[in-house]
Structure 1
Amino acid sequence: MNQKLDQYDQKILQLLQEDARMSHAEIGRQVHLSQPAVSERIKRLESNQIIRGYKADINPKALGYDITAMIRVSTQQGRPYAQYVATCPEIVDCYTVTGEDGAVMRVLATDVEHLQRIINELNAFGSTSTAIVLTTHVSGKSIAIPHHE
Structure 2
Amino acid sequence: MNLKIDSFDQKILILLQQDARMSHAEIGRQVHLSQPAVSERIKRLEAAEVIRAYRAEINPKALGYQITAMIRLSTQQGRPYAQYVAACPEIIDCYTVTGEDGAVMRVLATDVEHLQRIINALNAFGSTSTAIVLTTHVAGKTIIVPAPDQNEA
Q: Percent identity?
A: 83
- Between the aligned partners of 1:47 and 1:77, the Cα distance in structure 2 is 37
The match for 2:139 is 139
TM-score (norm 1): 0.96
- Between the aligned partners of 2:72 and 2:147, the Cα distance in structure 1 is 34
SS at match of 1:69: strand
Query: Residues 28 and 79 (structure 1 numbering): CA distance in 2 closer, same or farther, change over 3 Å?
Result: farther
TM-score (norm 2): 0.94
- Give the CA deviation at 1:78: 6.4
SS at match of 1:115: helix
Q: Answer yes or no: is 1:84 the counterpart of 2:78.
A: no
The aligned amino acid for 1:135 is T
The match for 2:6 is 6
The aligned amino acid for 1:125 is F
**Alignment check: 8 A CA contact 1:71 1:131 kept:** yes
- Give the CA deviation at 1:52: 0.3
Alignment gaps of 5+ in structure 1: none
**Alignment check: 8 A CA contact 1:79 1:102 kept:** no
Structural mapping, 1:1-149, within 5 Å: 1-77=1-77, 80-148=80-148
Query: Residues 16 and 78 (structure 1 numbering): CA distance in 2 closer, same or farther, change over 3 Å?
Result: farther
- Between the aligned partners of 1:141 and 1:54, the Cα distance in structure 2 is 15
The aligned amino acid for 1:45 is L
Alignment gaps of 5+ in structure 2: none
> Which segments of structure 1 move beyond 3 Å, counting only runs of 4 or more?
none
